[in-house]
Amino acid sequence: MGAVMLDNRQPVKTIAWLLVILLIPVVGLLLYYFFGQDIRHEVLLNKKSIDLLTQKVMGHYIRQDRYEVPQQLKSLLLLMKRISYSLPFGGNDAQFYTCGSDFLIQLLKDIDGAQHHVHLEFFIVENDAVGNLLSDALLDAVKRGVIVRMIYDDVGCWSVPRHFFKKLRNGGVAVHAFLPVHFRWLSHRVNYRNHRKIVVIDGKIGYIGGMNIAMRYLRGEHGRVWSDLQMRVCGGAVYGLQQLFLSDWYYVSEQLINDMKYYPAMTSPAGRGALMQITMSVPFGRWPNFQMAYNLIIQMAQKQILIQTPYFMPTETILESLQTAALRGVHVEIMVPLKPGGFWMTWANEAYYGDVLKAGVQIYAYRPGMLHAKMMVIDDLFCSVGSVNLDFRSLNDTFEDSAFIYDTDIAKDMKKLFNKAKKDCKLIDLDLWNGRNCRRRVLESFVKIFSPLF
């Protein structure tokens, strides 16, 4: 109990773990050992080396074009520039994929056209038909003389047999696991996972979003469809994706790559192109990057906030920001899956519905299956897409990324995607919600206590 109290963590997490230990003493202690300990000191990157990599690449090799940003968004841009080394780049062109098969087809085409390098980083890469299609494409690229590097999360890929990645290594692909857990059931290093899903091809094409490499992202699972969001970008924002990948590559391989050939000259698309920042967070960072950013974004909104997230378990500060926004007249809509997973996750999501419904927030529950997209649109001026869920784990304990897009046209395009998905949603009515039975209310309240641990 003393170790829990002395851990440098949020009070809500401390209370939740104390309750677990008190309610189920032996099992609770085991759970805390495996999942609860703060081991950030064990996964600290060599900060001087990362700073050197960031400053040298982003400060000397890359020339930023002049850019404009709406006045009300300048503080957000400056915040992320300071706390996550995120430089803004203009002249970007974006395409969005909500269907996994469309994303996979385009990704395979881009890999087939690669001439110099392919960099991939995913939380999950399954040994199924989709994973093997990607594997074959990467091995073919190596045969053409293309440099291929891959990072996968060790916990996210626990079920993947070793021979899958061994085949890639034998074929010339440089593959590394992120923060390996060698004794899976006897280790507390299962937290602080790399949840990012990014691809960089020749330093000119990039991908960022919520899609992993697995069959369920194409055809769903358990008879339910899978809706997600992945962005393909061409333009200066690829520099940000490249820098993020190479920082992670340094961590897993101790190989520092900062050659300017990985940051080729860009040609802007027809027209001005969009202004973007590739933002990121790390669990041992000085600041809770996305928690601070999302609070500021919500506070800046003047007319409308649209959010898609598979898991809605916001921190207290973000919850209050959403409530405040709705109460001051901002139209707030949050879209979540009707059934985000097992009954436990469903109860955890629903435990927070009442808090925002009472303030006037509208909640839409996606009925056809799993909604895995991570999207935010503000006032038709700003939008974001990335790996960040609106829950405690994403905001505090995992390595995440998001593209912050300061562009009216793209914000409106993303708004259209949101409204299209609304047609398959059930609007949660406050009166009906208040009428649910006592047993359900008790279960939700119970689960809510432990939601910071999910």
Q: Is 141 part of any domain? A: yes
Q: Are residues 216 and 363 in the same domain?
A: no
Cα 92 to its chain centre, rounded Å, is 20
Average the pLDDT over 320-325 and give the result.
Answer: 98
Residue 387 and residue 261 share a domain: no
Angle ∠(289,96,394) on CA atoms, nearest 5: 25
Q: Are residues 271 and 294 in the same domain?
A: no
Could you tell me if 266 and 302 lie in one domain?
no
The residue segments making up the domain with residue 108 are 45-73+89-276
Beta bridge partners of 334: 307, 363
0.85 exceeded by pTM? yes
In a domain, 398, yes or no: yes
The reply to whether 212 and 298 lie within a common domain is no
- 204 shares its domain with 166: yes
H helices present in 302-407, as ranges: 316-327, 343-350, 353-357, 392-396
Residue with token string 């091995």: 139
The pLDDT value given to residue 187: 44
Catalytic residue among 374, 401, 407, 448: 374
Q: Which is catalytic among the residues 176, 195, 339, 448? A: 195
The answer to whether residue 84 is domain-embedded is no
Question: Which residue among 153, 154, 202, 401 is the active-site one?
Answer: 202
Q: Mark whether 212 and 295 lie in a shared domain.
A: no
Task: Determine whether 188 is an active site residue.
Answer: no
Which SS3 state, helix, strand or coil, does residue 263 take? Answer: coil
Q: Which tens digits make up the pLDDT trace of 268-283?
A: 655 568 999 999 998 8
Identity of the highest mean pLDDT range in 85-89, 220-224, 260-264, 291-295: 291-295
- Residue 58 pLDDT more than 70? no
Residue 34 in any domain: the answer is yes
More confident residue, 418 or 158: 418
Whether 79 is covered by a domain: the verdict is no
Same domain, 269 and 134: yes
Per the rule left: phi > 0, alpha: psi between -120 and 50, beta: everything else, 179 is left
Same domain, yes or no, for 349 and 434? yes
Lowest pLDDT segment from 119-128, 275-284, 421-430, 442-451 = 442-451
Show the tokens assigned to 397.
Answer: 């304990």
Residue entry with tokens 């300061």: 406
Terminal CA-CA length for the chain: 20
Rounded mean pLDDT of 112-132? Answer: 98
Paired tokens of 314: 């916001």
Q: Which of 59-73, 122-136, 267-281, 332-346 has the lowest mean pLDDT?
A: 59-73
**318 inside domain:** yes
Residue 453: band (very low, low, confident or very high) from pLDDT cuts 50, 70, 90 = low
Annotated catalytic residue within 119, 204, 372, 448:
372
pLDDT in tens, 384-402: 999 999 998 899 889 999 9
Element (DSSP H or E) covering residue 389: none
Instruction: Check if 379 is active-site.
Output: yes
Residue 304: its H or E element: strand 304-308
pLDDT of residue 265: 87
304 with 334: CB under 8 angstroms? no
Residue 305, domain CATH = 3.30.870.10
- Give the pLDDT of residue 322: 98
Whole-angstrom distance, CA of residue 127 vs CA of residue 157: 9
Which has the minimum average pLDDT: 47-61, 162-176, 300-314, 412-426?
Answer: 47-61
* Helices first, then strands: H and E counts in the chain: 19, 19
Q: What is the tens place of the pLDDT at every residue in 82-120?
A: 998 899 999 999 999 999 999 999 999 999 999 999 999
Contact between 216 and 226 (Cβ < 8 Å)? yes
Are residues 119 and 252 located together in one domain of the fold? yes
> Looking at the structure, do residues 103 and 121 belong to the same domain, yes or no?
yes
Could you confirm whether 426 is annotated as catalytic?
no
3-state class (DSSP) for residue 67: coil
Between CA 164 and CA 289 the distance in angstroms is 35
Between 237-253 and 47-56, two packed helices, what is the crossing angle to 10 degrees? 150
374: annotated active-site residue = yes
- Of the candidates 117, 197, 204, 448, the residue annotated as catalytic is 197
Please say which residue of 244, 276, 308 terminates a domain.
Answer: 276
How many structural domains does the chain have? 3
Give me Rg for the CA atoms of the chain. 21
Which residues is 147 bridged to in the sheet? 117
User: Is 248 in the same domain as 339?
Assistant: no
Helix pair 74-83, 289-300: axis angle to 10 deg: 180
Q: Which domain-ending residue is among 251, 276, 301? A: 276
Does residue 403 belong to any structural domain of this protein? yes
- As a whole number of angstroms, the distance between CA 374 and CA 384 comes to 8
Q: Kindly state the average pLDDT of the residues 241-267.
A: 91
Rounded-to-integer distance, Cα 330 and Cα 28, Å: 42
Q: How far is CA 29 from CA 22, 39, 355, in A?
A: 9, 16, 31
Annotated catalytic residue 202: yes
Q: Is residue 257 part of a domain?
A: yes
For tokens 């989709």, the residue is 130
**Three-state SS for 255?**
coil
Neighbours of 99 (CB within 10 A): 16
- Please work out, in degrees rounded to the nearest 5, the angle formed at the alpha carbon of residue 415 by the alpha carbons of 411 and 421: 150
Give the chain's mean pLDDT. 85
- What is the DSSP secondary structure assignment for residue 379, as one 8-state letter? T
Q: What local confidence, expressed as pLDDT, does residue 50 receive?
A: 52
- Enumerate the β-bridge partners of residue 405: 276, 383
pLDDT above 80 (res 5): no
State residue 43's pLDDT score.
Answer: 47
Polymer length of the chain:
454
Task: Dump the DSSP string for 260-283.
Answer: GGGS----PPSSS-EEEEEEEE-T
**Which of the following is catalytic: 38, 110, 379, 397?**
379
Told to judge if 197 belongs to the known catalytic residues of this protein, a careful annotator would answer: yes
**Quick one: what percent of the chain has pLDDT higher than 90?**
64
